[in-house]
Amino acid sequence: MRLAFGTDHAAYALKATMLPLLRARGHEVDDLGCHSADPCDHPDYIIPVAEAVARGDYEGAIVACGTGQGSAIGANKVRGIRAALCLTPEMGRLARQHNDSNVLVLPARLITTEQAMAIFDAWISASFEGGRHARRMDKIAEYERRHICP
């Protein structure tokens, strides 16, 4: 799968350890920043990642910051993005199955690399179930079309 990965400084170390693991599993992953542990603002990296997914440049993305909250808020401002903050593999699986998540949000200060990879594995291997969940996602997409600027 072709993925983008963006973080702030608080999640830089997590990204640095995850990138080679993701690539070793055959995923094409582009690092869209940040590129050091120097303090920075997560919207500078998270929003461009979300925009790239929304444009179709990537099939999905991983974003992260200290708690994941800021990354989730920022990514979800982009029309068409369904960013899900996940702390367990079950949350990752359900984010895809029930909410058709296209951006996985990780809380770097709250999980280990091993936990992050388990969450990613559950997220990436799940598929959207549709059905009653599609009706709900359609309602959100309709709201976006009517109220959110492109």
Which H/E stretch holds residue 15?
Answer: helix 12-24
Q: Which of 65, 133, 147, 149 is catalytic?
A: 65
Q: Which amino acid is at 14?
A: L
Which H/E stretch holds residue 72?
Answer: helix 69-75
CB contact at 8 A, 54 and 83 = no
Q: Report CA 27 to chain centroid distance, whole Å.
A: 15
From the list 97, 96, 88, the residue with the least C-alpha distance to 117 is: 88
Which H/E stretch holds residue 60?
Answer: strand 60-65
> Among positive and negative, which fits the CA dihedral 30, 36, 37, 43?
negative
Q: Which of 98, 133, 147, 149 is catalytic?
A: 98
Tokens representing 64?
A: 């992260």
65 is catalytic: yes
List, by residue number, the catalytic residues: 65, 98
